[in-house]
Structure 1
Amino acid sequence: MTQERRTDDTGRRTVDSPEVLKALSHPLRLRILRHLGTAGPATSTTLAAALGENTGTLSYHLRMLERSGLIEDIPERSAGRERWWRGVRGLDIRRPPQNELTDAERVMSAELDRLRLEEDIELARRFTADQADSAGWMRGSRSLVHLTKSELDAFHDDYLALLARYARGPEDAPDDARPVLLRWFGVPAD
């Protein structure tokens, strides 16, 4: 099971276990999480149809995501054998320190980095190609600032707090809300 520790007064939980890393390092699981995050709760049958997979495959991956604490079933919506799934809200997923990972876990970590990089490159392409036609839905900023390590840490924590302030799932969003993919990373320029 995942290791959790409270990080703030809002109930936001930090998870940083190798089990979560393993769950995230599979492309279909990332697609499942994205679908639940953008479209809202779903059954394995509706997920299979939306993602072009069979229900047996989806059920296996849903169990892996549930065990890692990334999704949960919705008992009040489930009936009989039909289970409804949703992403767990309020998680701050952190990578375990590299020196605490086994060689196999480092391989999973590298695979997750590769999958995320592919997605981020595609998002950058979409931003460049579609920004003019987005009616203001695509926003971005690039900056160069001089920070100490502790200031960078504080900036990162402030960014996470800002995300938490605006975070909600599709079932809680107003009718005019859209799913928006946000990215932030800092890289030393020298």
Structure 2
Amino acid sequence: MESRTSVPGLPAAGDVAQEVGHTVVGAAALKALAHPLRIRLLEELSRYGAQTASGLATRLGESSGSTSYHLRQLAKHGLVREVRDRGTARERWWERPPGPLVVATPGLATSPATRTAARLVSREFERGRAQALAEFMDHGVDQLDPQWTEAAIISTSSLHLTVEQLREVSEKAERYVRSLAGQYPNEPGAEGTLPVQLHLNVFPLMDGRAAGPPPGK
């Protein structure tokens, strides 16, 4: 499952719409998402695939009642969905719809509440990205086989662009990343894989279950 999140200014698309290859989120769903735990839940499902409320509670240090409640709220807005072929009436499995999440917020210019929600969502997603990179930088060399750290890249390019050039670079980068990501099955838990994020930085996520010590240590 490809899982990327962007927050551009797009035309209104209702509350949540499943477009070709991505999910478009309107203002109402954006406000529902504007809760730190809900964003963390969405990130966990994006990174590691389908999980139960109790499994997510263990990973995040929350109660299963809390994660279950917030998963149901996300599901009301189509941001997560129940995995119908897994689990029981007592233990439901949840997943992210495939593809990137695109937030459509035409009310940013006129609605203080929508602006506040957009800021919180953007800030929390960025916090999660920064934390993931910091964990890799701090612990990757110690906990991963050297081939994983050698294959990763932390890259920054500084440019001076007009607004038209910036738009062109953004659109080309987005198309290329989508094309590149689409070449890989990206199945959580597949043998020989680790969860990886691409910013562009490209690095393995330091998930405790997957990123054990290198062989022989």
TM range (shorter): 0.7 to 0.9
Matches within 5 A, 1:1-190: 2-4=15-17, 6=19, 11-97=20-106, 98-100=108-110, 102-123=111-132, 125-126=134-135, 128-129=137-138, 135-165=149-179, 166=181, 171=187, 174-183=190-199
Report the Cα distance in structure 2 between the residues aligned to 1:137 and 1:93, rounded to whole angstroms: 29
Displacement, 1:95? Answer: 4.7
Bigger Cα displacement from structure 2, 122-131 vs 18-27:
122-131
Post-superposition offset of 1:18:
1.4
TM-score, length-scaled by structure 2: 0.67
Question: What CA RMSD, in Å, does the superposition of the two structures yield over aligned residues?
Answer: 3.0
**Aligned partners of 2:22 and 2:99 also within 8 Å:** yes
Task: Considering fraction of residues, name the structure with more strand.
Answer: 2
Once the two structures are superposed, residues 88-134 of structure 1 have per-residue CA deviations (whole angstroms, 9 ceiling, x without a partner) of 1113323513215x222222222223323433443454465457666
Distance (whole Å) between structure 1 residues aligned to residue 119 and residue 149 of structure 2? 36
Give the conservation status (yes or no) of the 8 Å contact 1:48–1:55.
yes
Deviation at 1:5, TM superposition (A): 6.8
In structure 2, distance between residues paired with 1:51 and 1:169: 27
Given residue 171 of structure 1, which amino acid in structure 2 is its aligned partner?
E
CA contact (8 A) 2:15 2:25 kept: yes
Deviation at 1:170, TM superposition (A): 5.6
Deviation at 1:41, TM superposition (A): 1.0
Q: Determine if contact 1:40/1:170 at 8 Å carries over to the other structure.
A: no
Structure 1 residues 139-159: Cα deviation after superposition (integer angstroms, max 9, x where no partner)? 122212343323322322222
TM-score, normalised via structure 1 length: 0.75
With 153-162 and 39-48 compared, the bigger mean Cα shift is at 153-162
Q: Structure 1, residues 58-108: CA drift from partner, whole Å, max 9, x if none?
A: 1210012112222111111133333211111113323513215x2222222
Q: Distance in 1 between matches of 2:67 and 2:30?
A: 19
Task: State the secondary structure of the residue aligned to 2:86.
Answer: coil
Provide the C-alpha distance between the structure 1 equivalents of 2:188 and 2:24, rounded to a whole number of angstroms: 23
Structure 1's unaligned 5+ residue stretches are 185-190
User: Is the 1:18–1:96 Cα contact (8 Å) retained in structure 2?
Assistant: yes
Letter matched to residue 91 of structure 2: E
How many pairs does the alignment contain?
A: 180
